Amino acid sequence: MKKPDILKEIVAKKKEKILLAKQNISEEELKAKVQNLPSVRPFIEAIDKGRAISLIAEIKKASPSRGIIRQDFNPQEIAKIYQDVGAQAVSILTEEDYFLGNIVYINELKGVVDLPILRKDFILEPYQVYESRYFGADAILLIADLLSKDKLTELMSLADSLGLDYLVEVHAERELKKVLSLKVPLIGINNRDLHTLEVNFKTTEKLYPLIPKDKVVVVESGIKSYQDVLFLKILGVSACLIGEAFMEAEDIKKKMEEIMGW
């Protein structure tokens, strides 16, 4: 029996949520509201530290593969721990149905930490880029698998005009080829196949050598130990994005120090 394609389900739900959001606040209203906002915190600059490997620490309550990961879920408290222990940036899941996220979390986090905030969601159209800026994101995730070359170009250009950084995520060689044909400074390699939710570290081993050295590279998913981080550091990866390992830990601070070797 063929496994359901989780990504298709998530995208279908996301399209419904975008329609609802537009009824609440139109794209024209958002465009007007983002005009006079304070400038964003530089995301790429925060994680591009030369020889050291940076940490983008992620906050998520649930995931499609795990269900609820953290019962005692206080995004602001978690963000404060992340900053205190030494993370370079924070990633927050804002997808509502499968990750139990909320876009209002972004501004709540901005109030308690000085780190740049990455909005992790399934961004499909310009409305969500304006929305990200309005709700306080400093950077957004763009998933190459979900977006045509033209759509990627459009969303990146809009993000540039709003001052937002963007992490363009790939999982396969064909997606990487598409991304490398565009001017993308920050590339994410996701070890998780978003269609099946399976994680394979070999994805990084395969794709990383194909990326030009002038790109900032982030590796996502499946990073569970100091050995994993050391492997990525030796490869030359700029940053690792870790969420689940911290979210399921009783003592987040201890787990961060253990995995990062701090």
Task: State how many domains the chain has.
Answer: 1
The predicted model gives 4-13 an average pLDDT of 92
Domain membership flag for residue 34: no
**Distance (Å, whole) CA 262 – CA 258:** 7
Residue 224, φ and ψ in degrees, nearest 5: -120, -15
- For 145-175, how does the pLDDT look when each residue is reduced to its tens digit (9 = 90+)? 999 999 999 999 999 999 999 999 999 999 9
Looking at the chain, how many residues does it have? 262
Domain membership flag for residue 15: no
The predicted model gives 74-95 an average pLDDT of 98
Domain membership flag for residue 12: no
Domain membership flag for residue 162: yes
The predicted model gives 68-88 an average pLDDT of 97
The predicted model gives 223-251 an average pLDDT of 96
Contacts of 187 by beta carbon, 8 Å cutoff, 6+ apart: 167, 168, 169, 170, 176, 179, 211, 215, 216, 217, 218
Domain membership flag for residue 141: yes
What pLDDT, on the 0 to 100 scale, is given for residue 3?
66
- For 141-150, how does the pLDDT look when each residue is reduced to its tens digit (9 = 90+)? 999 999 999 9
Domain membership flag for residue 108: yes
CATH of the domain at 115: 3.20.20.70
What pLDDT, on the 0 to 100 scale, is given for residue 140?
98
pLDDT value at 257 more than 80: yes
Domain membership flag for residue 24: no
What pLDDT, on the 0 to 100 scale, is given for residue 14?
97
pLDDT value at 50 more than 90: no
**Distance (Å, whole) CA 182 – CA 171:** 17
Domain membership flag for residue 202: yes
Residue 1 pLDDT level (bands cut at 50, 70, 90): low
- 134 lies in which domain range? 41-260
What pLDDT, on the 0 to 100 scale, is given for residue 36?
87
Residue type, 232: L
Active site residues: 58, 60, 120, 169, 190, 220-221
Planar angle of CA 132, 33, 21, nearest 5 degrees: 55
